[in-house]
């Protein structure tokens, strides 16, 4: 019985010690995302950024939601990572309305 309790406490302690500090940040990009190919380009490149756990894109709202482990990266490092694949990222909010630039051409078609 004592072994079982000790083992359970040990496992619980290990789980607490390895708990991740996950945060989500929202970016808008320049150039804007126009299509599914643009969204795929962002997702396929950001997934290699250290500490990034989840990426959601919305071309209609012009937003990229990035969930990351704050123990491995931060908002500035993620923002700089966008530049590696040709985008400039600016932090925004969920409520912000981003105007869509209809006249821009899509380079990802």
Domains of the chain: 20-92 (3.30.70.100)
**Residue 99: band (very low, low, confident or very high) from pLDDT cuts 50, 70, 90:** confident
Residue closest to 59 by CA, chosen among 31, 95, 79? 31
The C-alpha atoms of residue 5 and residue 23 are separated, in whole angstroms, by: 33
Res. 71: pLDDT tops 90: yes
Per-residue model confidence as pLDDT tens digits over 20-66: 799 999 999 999 998 999 999 999 999 999 999 999 999 999 999 99
**Residue 92: HSE in the Cβ half-sphere, 13 Å Cα cutoff:** 18
């Amino acid at each position: 019985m004592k072994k079982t309790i000790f083992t359970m406490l040990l496992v619980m302690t290990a789980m607490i010690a390895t708990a991740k500090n996950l945060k989500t940040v929202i970016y808008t990009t320049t150039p804007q995302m126009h299509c599914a190919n643009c969204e795929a380009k962002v997702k396929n490149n950001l997934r290699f950024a250290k500490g990034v756990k989840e990426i959601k894109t919305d071309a209609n709202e012009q937003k990229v939601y990035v969930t990351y482990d704050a123990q491995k990266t931060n908002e500035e490092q993620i923002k700089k990572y966008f530049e590696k694949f040709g985008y400039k990222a600016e932090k925004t909010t969920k409520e912000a309305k981003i105007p869509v630039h209809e006249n821009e051409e899509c380079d990802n078609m």
